[in-house]
Amino acid sequence: MKLITGLHHVTAITGDTQENIDFYTGVLGLRLVKTTVNFDYSDVYHFYFGDEFGTPGTIMTTFPYGKGLVNGRHGKGMLNTTAFSISMDALDYWMNRLNQFNIPFKQPQQRLSGEVFIYLEDFDGLGLELVFNDKDERTGYNNHFIPKDFAIKGIHHVEIWLNAYERTAALLTTQMDHQLIAESSDRFRYAVEDAPGKYVDLVCTPNALKGLAGRGTVHHVAFATPDAQTQLEMMEKLNTFGLEHTEVKDRKYFTSVYFKEPGGVLFEIATSGPGFDVDEELASLGEHLNLPQQFEEKREHLVEVLPKFNYPTEKYR
């Protein structure tokens, strides 16, 4: 049995709260599946965006620290692009949609076995792609304003820039159940199986500057493991590989272990369950502030310091 089943989520450092909600639920049409706080710094929101259920492999999460936060810099030792998967038929629709809302993007390009992609950035400069392909069996979130066959189906891949890819590749292939499935020039694609939502692209960029954390950069990427037992087995494998990791942390919707991969990117191993409906109904996910038990006594303070925002946002519908 595989200990890693694919990507779980990507977590980014972002700026303004309303812009963050607008971009991911409005422009991109994802579902806000959880409104909570950063469990390690509770005065900041933690938003989870994904498909209807917040299925692992569809989830983008953000810590919106506010507009005053200093900008980060894309570069080496960083996950610079999170790519979302969309049906091939939807390319024209999405270019029109981005134009309609004045979201700049690069013209379509092709890579590897013919996947077509456009690069864009969110309002904070976070690197994103829309990858148009016919390989994705997943159903996107039906938000009732983007035609449901054109919706984002989930994450397609993540792109990590490295000085050299070999040590990260060794971690993925010897300890984390990945295989090299495609490559072209300086790009090496690894996956636990050949399906969108499971791809990790390592790109060699020896001439790039080092990435700097800040607004518009990724904080970490999480890989999915089935349960607490496989998570424990994964920790033993990290020990064998000589990688230091945290203890298991309770994130309420899953449990997590964190470690730095050899190229400098923070990786997380997150359990697939229990999921986002443990503290609210599926029909109203994300609509109210949900706090873990340890922060309930601070609720009044948090409601006061956390910025108010409108959801759903009408502007991008």
Task: Look at strands 217-225 and 6-14 and give their pairing.
Answer: antiparallel
- Closest approach, Cβ 268 to Zn ion, in A, equals 5
- Measured CA to CA, the distance from residue 85 to residue 236 in angstroms comes to 33
Stretch that binds Zn ion, among 68-76, 214-222, 224-232, 240-248 (CB under 5 A): 214-222
Q: Considering the complex, state which of residue 63 and residue 117 has its C-beta at the smaller distance from Zn ion.
A: 63
- Closest approach, Cβ 186 to Zn ion, in A, equals 28
Among 5, 6, 11, 20, binds Zn ion (CB under 5 A): 11
Task: Look at strands 78-87 and 59-64 and give their pairing.
Answer: unpaired
- Closest approach, Cβ 270 to Zn ion, in A, equals 6
DSSP 294: G
Cis peptide before 262 (omega within 30 of 0): no
Task: Check binding of 268 to Zn ion (CB under 5 A).
Answer: yes
- Closest approach, Cβ 122 to Zn ion, in A, equals 18
Q: Considering the complex, state which of residue 62 and residue 175 has its C-beta at the smaller distance from Zn ion.
A: 62
Rounded to 5 degrees, what are φ and ψ at 57? Answer: 95, -10
Task: Check binding of 265 to Zn ion (CB under 5 A).
Answer: no
Q: Restricting to residues 222-251, which ones interact with Zn ion according to CB under 5 A?
A: 222
Q: Considering the complex, state which of residue 11 and residue 231 has its C-beta at the smaller distance from Zn ion.
A: 11
- Closest approach, Cβ 56 to Zn ion, in A, equals 11
What amino acid occupies position 36?
A: T
Task: Look at strands 187-191 and 78-87 and give their pairing.
Answer: unpaired
Task: Check binding of 33 to Zn ion (CB under 5 A).
Answer: no
- Closest approach, Cβ 7 to Zn ion, in A, equals 11
Rounded to 5 degrees, what are φ and ψ at 148? Answer: -65, -25
Distance of CA 208 to the CA centre of its chain: 23
Stretch that binds Zn ion, among 73-81, 148-156, 262-270, 291-299 (CB under 5 A): 262-270
Tokens 């969108």 sit on residue: 196
Q: Considering the complex, state which of residue 99 and residue 246 has its C-beta at the smaller distance from Zn ion.
A: 246
- Spell out where the chain has E strands: 6-14, 31-38, 41-50, 59-64, 78-87, 109-111, 115-121, 127-133, 154-162, 179-184, 187-191, 199-204, 217-225, 249-250, 255-260, 266-271
Stretch that binds Zn ion, among 4-12, 40-48, 118-126, 140-148 (CB under 5 A): 4-12
Interacting residues with Zn ion (CB under 5 A):
11, 222, 268
